[in-house]
Amino acid sequence: MAELTIGGFTRLSTCDWPGELVATIFCQGCPWSCAYCHNPHLIPVNGPSKVGWPDILAFLNERRGLLDGVVFSGGEPTLQKGLLPAIQIVRDLGFRTGLHTGGPYPERFAILLPFLDWVGFDVKAPYKQYQDITGAKGSGSKAFESLRLLLASGVDYEIRTTIHPALLDSEAIALLKEEISKLGVTNHKIQNFRPTGCISAHLLDTAQDYE
């Protein structure tokens, strides 16, 4: 199989998949450059692989029956060709599988969905404001196509949106909620900007919690 480039590994997490005790694999590389990203070191595609896949497999073998599942996070895990084989191997070990994604590659996402038990899906902004957040032209089209695929799949999910007043005002948030509600989203979580890891001085200086 194609190797995963892994930028980090959390052996035990209670927050990466709500209600589940999981290990989390942070895949290196992301095609988007969101200003509020709290893992900017995972954005470069050619970043160093800090953890070897064989080491992770050895750990998971020892934790069979002790962990509920494994979450593939990032970065953007769907960027990597080795993701599907890795998910299949983890499932063969008896673990449930979760994915964190922003949906930049809907065709790849469609192939992955039958092998997933849960998806944490980031909706960044209303459709027309997507590029303002991601810095990538056409990102809104890709993300909303992936969101439709997720909703049609029947896979359990949580839709998440990170809020910062310098990026999304109250009108934009209301529009976003309206857009995804029309698509059929019933589980949407608003999460406040996290200063930890963010390298944008402007966002750090202007942060305030969403109420």
CA-CA distance, 12 to 135, in Å (whole number)? Answer: 32
Candidate CATH numbers 3.20.20.70, 3.40.630.10, 3.30.530.20, 3.90.700.10; the one for domain 8-198: 3.20.20.70
Q: Which residues contact 183 (CB under 8 A, 6 or more apart)?
A: 144, 147, 148, 151
CA-CA distance, 174 to 193, in Å (whole number)? Answer: 17
pLDDT tens per residue across all 211 residues of the chain: 567 899 999 999 999 999 999 999 999 999 998 877 788 889 898 877 778 999 999 999 999 999 999 999 999 999 999 999 999 999 999 999 999 999 999 999 999 999 999 999 999 999 999 998 899 999 999 999 999 999 999 999 999 998 877 778 889 999 999 999 999 999 999 887 665 555 455 554 555 555 5
Which residue, 48, 16, 46, 42, is CA-closest to 30? 42
**Which residue do the tokens 């896979």 mark?**
155
Token pair, residue 97, equals: 């599988």
Neighbours of 202 (CB within 10 A): 11
Q: What is the pTM of this model?
A: 0.92
Q: What is the pLDDT of residues 143-172, one digit of tens each?
A: 999 999 999 999 999 999 988 777 788 899
Q: Would you list the domain boundaries of the chain?
A: 8-198
Sheet containing strand 22-27, strands side by side: 6-13, 22-27, 69-73, 96-101, 118-122, 156-163, 188-192
Cβ burial, residue 116 (10 Å; 0-12/13-18/19+): buried
Q: What are phi and psi of 10, to 5 degrees?
A: -105, 120
* DSSP secondary structure, 116-141, as one string: -SEEEEE--S-GGGHHHHH--TTHHH
β-sheet bridge partners, residue 98: 71, 118
Instruction: List Cα–Cα distances, 28 to 7, 73, 82, 102, in angstroms.
Output: 5, 9, 12, 14
Neighbours of 40 (CB within 10 A): 16
Q: Amino acid identity of 144?
A: F
**What are the strands, taking DSSP E only, across 30-155?**
69-73, 96-101, 118-122
